[in-house]
Amino acid sequence: MPTPHISAAIGDIAETVLMPGDPYRAKWAAETYLDDIKLVNEVRGMLGFTGTYKGNPVTIHGSGMGMPSISIYANELITEYGAKTLIRIGSCGAMQHHIKVRDVVIAMTATTMGTTPSAGFFKEINYAPCADYGLLEAAVAAARQKDTGVHVGNIYSSDIFYAERPDLDEVMIRHGILGVEMEAAELYTVAARHGVRALGVMTVSDHLLTHEALPSDQREKSFGDMVEIALEAAFAA
């Protein structure tokens, strides 16, 4: 049955779902990389498309911005539609000098302030969200076949976009956090709770240290490597 946020019929959502935050990025990725695509959701403007990649069924579905939003879609995709592999594809801000704009960051773990939508499940426990290792390994292998910089490690999933705590940035930079985004930690936690696979593959769109930023008209082309890495990882033997 349709959920409050997804109108797709049962069978319209593939077991493998790529989740960009921007619904129009979902449309671009589906039209660029999938065959035989079908629009399966447009409730509240959150677009979802299902097609095939090298013969494998894939859904590319927007997640919205922030952990509360991706939590809604991930929970419904898993519990109501049977999704088994969920890969976040999106942008992040670099937090280390050796990382460049347009590089790809693959999130092994995701640090938070402890304010994720799932935080209440754990009470006094500081749960450490992490990626599925099989997906992580496959994504790294796929990334190494491309002419782009790739970095694997800990990222920061923030619950606020306009942060005003440079002291926190300094601590995270000192402890090797690769970049900041707003969704992966909750995706990893929801996936773990339901026993499915999750991974975050992000393109660096801006840099917190150098203040370099990728112009909007160049983002789609630069994000292509990220989408291909995610698709190859999802179906690696």
CA distance 114 to 224: 32
Determine contact, residues 134/108, Cβ cutoff 8 Å.
no
Question: From the candidates 22, 35, 206, 217, which is the catalytic residue?
Answer: 206
User: Is 225 known to be catalytic?
Assistant: no
Q: What angle do CA 50, 51, 53 make, to 5 degrees?
A: 130
| Residue 52, beta-bridge partner list | 35, 57
Determine contact, residues 196/189, Cβ cutoff 8 Å.
no
Give the closest residue to 28 by CA, choosing from 222, 200, 180: 222
Q: Which string of b and e fits 120-134 if b means at least 16 CB within 10 Å?
A: eeeeeeebebbbbee
Q: What long-range pairs does 174-177 form, CB within 8 A, spacing at least 24? A: 176/96, 177/95, 177/96, 177/111, 177/153
Catalytic positions are 206
